Structure 1
Amino acid sequence: MLKFHQDVRLRIGDVIVQYRLINKDTPVVITFPPGSEWITEQETNEQVKLWGFDFFKKQQINVISFIHTGQDDYFRSIELQNFIKQLGKFIAMFPDKIGYGSSRGGFAVSLHANALGLDRALLLMPLSTYSSELAPWDPKVIKVDKATKYSGYNKDASGCKIPLTIIYDPLNKSDRLHVKRYSCQIQKLKFPGIGHRIARGLRDLGLLKKVVIDFVHDELDVDDFPRLIRNRRNLSYYHKGMSSNATGKLTLRRKKVIYYHKLMWKLKHIEDEPRKMATKLRDSLLKRIDESQKFLTGSKNFLPAKTFVMANFFIFC
């Protein structure tokens, strides 16, 4: 039995669940994180907030958040599936059961949507499967399948039966083909030129909170979405994505237009370039050091962290 009016953490195998339920007469949101969000065994005993938990808690929205321990977990265990079935029976009392996930989290939401009895879900660039047999066109899937050698039955989320609202970049081949695999009712919101950075793009445009909250309250204006993302031309990675010619359909005339706007953007932000490069280098180093520390604390390797980082400095950069 789940509890109301308190923060609760549970462990289900290699998955941590954190939830806060406030009102059984209002929607409940179930969140699963992208692959970049995971915690170590040490962090399971700390008050590390799960992806999406604080956001919905601050909005006074019922929330149940999941996260995995270790980098290579894909929310497919039998233990988790059994818990999901029981959870689905409990949350049936809520008037609107909503899923929210990004990338790997989108896979997890759609994989467990039927068992949870969700009414609808908002997915950002979801992966529909981690089976290279089902998605031989996705390098990420091929890499994961080769590394995990997963042979269980929880490998295909395209059988999701609930209505989905999916935000993705149609110019990204892998993401486009993942969306195409879903056979349920889909509302497609296209965010071209962003690549596999949908959450980042929405955040940088100041739209992420609005889009998510509007969706939860069933007030998202899908017809207005193209207008909202028009300012994506001010994002540096938008120009990079558009010039990559992912579809192979860029004519010489289109290329000229894209490179012209890319040049204009760079000239407009030329003073920011040195600072941007320094920030990027700093963030890269901090990320690699953090990953190294997680690797060391989460494994039986007793090589000192400082030695490990220095030995891999040039590889990480």
Structure 2
Amino acid sequence: MKLLYWLDEWLTLSPSEQRERLPMTGCDLLDDVYVKYHLVDPKKPLLFAFSPAGTNYQTSDLHKDFAPWGYRLAQKQQVNVIAFQHLGQSNWFRSRNLIFFLEQLAPLLTPFSTRLGYGLSRGGFAVGAFSELLQLDYVLLLHPVSTKNTTIAPWDTRSSTELAQQFDWQGDYHDLQLGNAKGYIIYDPTNEIDRKHAKRYQTLTHLRVYGMGHGTHASYLNKFGFYKQVAKDFMHHQELDIKKFRQQTKTLRLKEDYYQSLNRANSNSPHRLALLSTAHQILADEKENHVQEHQAQIDVQPLIDVAVKHQDDHPKDAIKLLKVAQQLVPDDPLVEHKLRQLG
């Protein structure tokens, strides 16, 4: 627990001496959780990041350059970061050693006035559970689990719920405790279990992404840079431009590759494939309307003017220009007339 000792000593220094000790980078192993930290400036936000499910790192995988989920992104944004990577496949941040560490850590963070929490799925659970303890100001949660306590959430029938019962879901920090944290929760409302978990985060701003799914789909959204840009905005401003966010998700949904990826991820679920097919058809129609609206706003007259000006000296180039104009406005009678003339 090197970070605790370092912070305890650091707090006794004057502000100028504290600044001289930064940046500070290190790591600790807390039973089955690896923590890595990079502290640069107490005037900048301090981000707590907790890893999602889908990884199965072991102690043997750790090395000096190993970076937990969210660590490198925060480092590139030049904010302070303390990132937690669970080890093993079934791990819900329930280790007594980890909890003791967080309880000792919380009162040592007084110089950091802005504290953020960032978590996806299982990591979202940890952010919600430890939010009040760590006195987080803002959180960004991506399809988080709120608890694996079967009394509180009997509707969470995922296989991970049964595996999670090996841990204590009655003791401290087993359920969401947001405290005064504000922020955002992003999820797919067509995923019934995710929707029910999300409803329990009543004080957060809900942002819905249809077709986003849960778990394995995260890699497909990462492919389009979706999570990364949202996280960057959150780290820098602690706010998301909701109008921009909705435009981004609309643009994402108009990508054919997005649906192809989701179809592959859901190949064993006829129910979700049917939902995706319906959504895909609706959005294909939306895309066609979008293209038609865009075409209606295109002025191809400058292309026609250039083609007409050079049609005698460079007829082949004029035809190429007119064909470009035809692609932009397929039914324009003037373009068709000029092409027939030159053809």
Please confirm whether the aligned pair reaches a TM-score higher than 0.5, indicating the same fold. yes
1:129–1:156 CA contact under 8 A, matched in 2: yes
Aligned-residue Cα RMSD (Å) equals: 2.9
Aligned counterpart for 2:74 among listed residues 47, 56, 65: 56
* 2:142 counterpart letter in structure 1: L
Structure 1: runs of 5+ lacking an equivalent: 266-317
Corresponding residue SS for 1:227: helix
Deviations 1:98-150 (A, max 9, x none): 0001000000111111111110110110000112222222233532235x253
Aligned length: 256
Structure 2: runs of 5+ lacking an equivalent: 1-5, 8-20, 288-343
Aligned counterpart for 2:44 among listed residues 22, 26, 40: 26
Corresponding residue SS for 2:24: coil
Matched, 1:232 2:253: yes
Matched, 1:208 2:222: no
Larger Rg, first or second structure (1 or 2) = 2
2:122–2:145 CA contact under 8 A, matched in 1: yes
* 1:91 counterpart letter in structure 2: L
Matched, 1:217 2:236: yes
Q: Which residue of 2 is the match for residue 79 of structure 1?
A: 97
Mapped to 1, the partners of 2:94 and 2:67 lie a distance apart of: 22
Q: Which residue of 2 is the match for residue 271 of structure 1?
A: none
2:168–2:174 CA contact under 8 A, matched in 1: no
Mapped to 1, the partners of 2:278 and 2:207 lie a distance apart of: 27
Percent of paired sites with the same residue: 33
Mapped to 2, the partners of 1:239 and 1:261 lie a distance apart of: 15
Compared with structure 1, are the counterparts of its residues 188 and 201 closer, same or farther at alpha carbon in structure 2 (3 Å cutoff)?
farther
Deviations 1:207-227 (A, max 9, x none): 322211111122420132211
Give TM-score, length-normalised by structure 2: 0.66
Instruction: Report the alpha carbon displacement of residue 82 of structure 1 after superposing the two structures with TM.
Output: 1.8
Mapped to 1, the partners of 2:60 and 2:243 lie a distance apart of: 45
Q: Which residue of 2 is the match for residue 35 of structure 1?
A: 53
Aligned counterpart for 1:129 among listed residues 147, 167, 176: 147
Mapped to 2, the partners of 1:40 and 1:79 lie a distance apart of: 17
1:132–1:145 CA contact under 8 A, matched in 2: no
Q: Which residue of 1 is the match for residue 185 of structure 2?
A: 166
Corresponding residue SS for 1:20: strand
Q: Which residue of 2 is the match for residue 187 of structure 1?
A: 205
Give TM-score, length-normalised by structure 1: 0.71
Aligned counterpart for 1:94 among listed residues 96, 103, 112: 112
